[in-house]
Amino acid sequence: MIAILGRGAWGQALGATLSQAGREVRFWTRGDDPSWLAGARTVIAAVPAQATREVLAHLHDHLDPSAWLVLTAKGLEKRTMALQTGIAQAAAPRLKPAVLTGPSFAADLSRGLPTAVTLATREPGAEALQETLATPSLRPYLSHDPVGAQLGGALKNVVAIACGAAIGAGYGESARAALMTRGFAEMTRLGTALGAEPETLAGLSGLGDLALTCASSQSRNYALGLAIGAGRTPGEASGDGRTYEGLATASEAVSLARAKGVEAPVAEVTAALVAGNLTPAAAFGALFNRPLRRET
């Protein structure tokens, strides 16, 4: 049995896809009796990044210690800068962690549209998990680099906000292309400083997800940037009750980059933008008036 923690758009899309492929799927949401979770051999955490620690700590004693824990949230934890696997190691250390991430919209997956993702883990036996999660429309590629996979998924949300703001403010497609490219350079610099493999960041979980979320209004973070660029305050733009993972991740990415001595100007101006400390004009002025340099 596969247990899915959370019933948001992504959790429901995964559940529907797996059920249609013949898997037994059950959902757990807050307030449900967790005793049945002991029978799940695969547990998919489909809750927001900022809720993962609380949910796992609450459910840890009810989970089979030999079960796979598949983490799907894309973000850095507030105040700790922790990746999802770091949270899992602290809150649910008995389980085998894996990361499912990559270019995917819940609406596309729900419609049965072809979706390829990264399944990253250092645990043995990952091929069996890959088979469990694969369906006619969902194709997971194995990776042994969960750090790179998670950083790509988290940091692309920050770049997506910047790209949305550029379009919303009327700066055009060329500006968006520049932000995507320089944002990817930042992702690569920070990722390699944290031990990620460049090939991972150039794959589905990094460049692939970046391409998807920086150019589609289906992306919540891109849509948030669009609204801010068009003149709405960050509070107004994000006040609809939906989860915008890039909001918290932007400031944490800046802190992480500073701790590692990595230059991250796109993340810095995006963090200031979503905090309300810079207008779109000031943010892009700061980026385009930086000292000239070679492309790296």
So which residues are the catalytic ones?
Answer: 156
SS3 140: strand
Return the CA Rg of the chain.
19
Q: What DSSP state is assigned to residue 76? A: P
> What is d(CA 140, CA 221) in angstroms, rounded to the nearest whole number?
24
Contact call for residues 2 and 40 (beta carbons, < 8 A):
yes
> What is d(CA 175, CA 247) in angstroms, rounded to the nearest whole number?
21
99-114 burial, b if ≥16 CB within 10 A, otherwise e?
A: bbbbbbbbebbbeeee
- Residue 74: CA atoms inside 13 Å, Cβ hemisphere, count? 30
